[in-house]
């Protein structure tokens, strides 16, 4: 067990106090030019596309287990490492990485609340020297606890215990913004756009927990239900996934193919 004892949503000041804690690895998913200019001291850079696989038109799929195993090993991550992730935008990429770790059964991870912007705006130091990891071994075995596929959803469309949470824009949900062969939404899905969780007045951090609980429960996604989140390729919905996880929702799944799969399949039902 890592010694860090960091929460799933970690504040910049809290991380600053733990940067030298053994077993903590900080991962930067910003664009390469920005990482070269400034990053959290000691943070390792991860090229975001390496987390993804595709089978066009289906995008946003998980890499195979061997690929992720190699990637985590290159970063010096072991099953006992506490991973802290961030990026320079809205933390979507960082959240997708953490969701991937969750599917792989990794249990020790945190998101830097507000990402690099919050870190800098709150006065913490940055570095321009790339960090070099010590290679490790990570045997990846995907689990189904935190992922859903098309067939899983099809068999639960009328299940009152399951809520499908569409985190796309209202226009995508309504079908007026068409990004696949067909437009609309999964039957019965509710729509809470992922950006509603972001506090734009506070360094793009998550809104207060009480506000977020009220938001999702009012929309029809209470914590006693199984929540399946999706967007177009499960990048935006990964942000919502980590929001819900930080709120203590016990049963959350991400749908990696998302609308790129559902909307491009002529046989799936659509509203």
- Is the distance from CB of 259 to CB of 65 less than 8 angstroms? no
CB 263 within 8 A of CB 237: no
Q: How far apart are CA 216 and CA 218, in angstroms?
A: 5
Task: Report the length, in residues, of the chain.
Answer: 271
CA angle 107, 55, 83 (to 5 degrees): 20
The alpha-helical segments, DSSP class H, found in the chain are 12-16, 32-37, 65-74, 92-103, 115-121, 150-154, 170-174, 209-219, 236-246, 258-262
Q: Which of 97, 80, 84, 93 is nearest to 136 (CA)?
A: 80
Point out the catalytic residue in the list 231, 242, 243, 247. 231
Angle at 194 between CA 191 and CA 195, to 5 degrees: 120
Q: Tell which residue, 33, 80, 85, has the closest CA to residue 239.
A: 85
231 is catalytic: yes
Taking the alpha carbons at both ends of the chain, their separation in whole angstroms is 46
**90: which DSSP letter?**
S
Catalytic residues: 231
């Amino acid at each position: 067990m890592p010694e860090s004892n960091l929460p799933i949503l970690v504040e910049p000041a809290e991380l600053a106090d733990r940067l030298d804690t053994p077993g903590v690895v900080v991962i930067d998913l910003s664009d390469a030019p920005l990482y070269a200019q400034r990053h959290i001291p000691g943070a390792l850079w991860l090229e975001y596309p390496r987390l993804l696989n595709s089978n066009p038109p289906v995008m946003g799929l998980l890499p195979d287990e061997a690929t992720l195993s190699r990637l985590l090993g290159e970063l010096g991550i072991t099953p006992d490492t506490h991973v802290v992730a961030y990026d320079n935008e809205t933390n979507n990429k960082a959240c997708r990485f953490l969701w991937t770790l969750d599917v792989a059964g990794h249990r020790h991870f945190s998101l830097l609340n507000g990402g690099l912007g919050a870190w800098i705006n709150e006065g913490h130091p940055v570095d321009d020297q790339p960090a070099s990891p010590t290679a490790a071994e990570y045997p990846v075995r995907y689990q189904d606890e935190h992922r859903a596929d098309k067939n899983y959803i099809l068999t639960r469309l009328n299940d009152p215990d399951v809520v499908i949470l569409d985190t796309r824009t209202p226009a995508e949900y309504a079908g007026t913004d068409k990004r696949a062969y067909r437009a609309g939404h999964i039957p019965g899905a509710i729509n809470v756009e992922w950006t509603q969780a972001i506090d734009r007045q506070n360094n793009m951090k998550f809104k207060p927990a009480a506000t977020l609980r009220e938001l999702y429960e009012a929309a029809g996604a209470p914590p006693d239900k199984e929540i399946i989140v999706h967007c177009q390729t499960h990048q935006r919905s990964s942000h919502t996934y980590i929001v819900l996880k930080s709120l203590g929702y016990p049963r959350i799944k991400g749908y990696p193919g998302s609308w790129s799969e559902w909307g491009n399949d002529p046989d799936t039902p659509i509203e």
